[in-house]
Structure 1
Amino acid sequence: MSKKVNQSEAGGNASSRYGARNLWSGILFGLGLVAFFDEAVFHQLLHWHHFYDRATTEIGLISDGLFHAFSWFATIAGLFLFADLRRRNALSRGTWWGGVLVGGGGFQLYDGVIQHKLMRIHQIRYVDNVIVYDLIWNVLALVMIAIGLVLLRRSKRQATTERKVQF
């Protein structure tokens, strides 16, 4: 059995000691959440594309299933880390939410640039003026990343200030 981390054992601030775990929990959850949303909405509900569109519909559906499993595992891994941080009283909400936005935006930017344009394994939508969809997709990703980085910087600054006050 593991014991809970209290404030004195963590050097006064449990969340500062577990900063990387807070960040990775958020990144995994954000990546999984955005991938899950992408797969459920754009693949299943709207039928805009499959994860892999360069083969038969059957292969596309299999690739969607594998993509869905990946997003589910990333989401669950992030939630297990989140639960552990809460149990240890080491959750830093600012770091976690910053990680969620960086992870989700990072996945979306990777999807939009690497998978859509470089690898061409699928497009967001098969229409004549796809650039509009691409711009919206990638700009949203950059906005998510930027807000996430602001939250991470703010959270780090706050943790540093709390450590200085304790000494």
Structure 2
Amino acid sequence: MVVCGVIGLAVTAAIDEIVFHQILGWHHFYDRSTLAVGLLSDGLLHTAELLALVAGFFAYADLRRRRALAPAHAWAGFFLGAGVFQLFDGIVDHKLLRLHQIRYGVDIAPYDWAWNIAGLVLLLTGVVLAFRAARRGPAAAR
């Protein structure tokens, strides 16, 4: 479950980085300095997410090779990782540390609600899938 949690976290970070940082240009990972620092912080985030994605897929491939991959647990881990990233970003990065906001120059309340509710939905999906996988047992989950 942990391996796919890393993959879920990395995929969600990549979607955030690509869509909101690059395509829409709404913010950078660190917006409390110059544009150059913001771009550097985006590059560091992108590097970390790619490293996590590569490491996660190598570990995933190893689990498959050893026939130790339980798909039900893997999906639970993926959604848990995605939800953890989304909520951490929305609560810790946006509100507690104030590294950046989702968007500037608009009322951010609807964006914050949407961002955090989406993270909660991802996390709760992972929790439900984890309970179902645990109930089925390790042998049935494969």
TM-score band, normalised by the shorter chain? over 0.9
1:15 maps to what in 2?
none
2:103 maps to what in 1?
125
Matched, 1:48 2:26: yes
- The within-5 A match list for 1:51-66 is 51-66=29-44
Say how many residue pairs are matched.
Answer: 140
**The one of 37, 51, 70 aligned to 1:92:** 70
**The one of 32, 37, 49 aligned to 1:71:** 49
Aligned letter for 2:62?
D
Instruction: Check 1:161–1:87 CA distance in 2 against 1; reply closer, same or farther (3 A cut).
Output: closer
TM-score by length of 2: 0.95
Q: Distance in 2 between matches of 1:128 and 1:149?
A: 33
Deviating 4+ runs (over 4 angstroms): none
State the secondary structure of the residue aligned to 1:48: coil
* 1:118-143, Cα deviation, whole Å (9 max, x unpaired): 11110011133101000000000000
- The within-5 A match list for 1:1-167 is 23-159=1-137, 162=140
Instruction: Check 1:59–1:160 CA distance in 2 against 1; reply closer, same or farther (3 A cut).
Output: closer
User: Once superposed, what is the RMSD of the aligned Cα atoms?
Assistant: 1.1
State the secondary structure of the residue aligned to 1:117: helix
Aligned letter for 1:148?
G
> Please, which runs of 5 or more residues in structure 2 have no aligned partner?
none
TM-score by length of 1: 0.81
Question: Percent of counterpart pairs with the same letter?
Answer: 47
Q: Distance in 2 between matches of 1:127 and 1:146?
A: 31
> Please, which runs of 5 or more residues in structure 1 have no aligned partner?
1-22, 163-167
Aligned letter for 1:132?
P
* 1:60-101, Cα deviation, whole Å (9 max, x unpaired): 000000000011111111111110110011111111111111
Flag the structure with larger Rg.
1
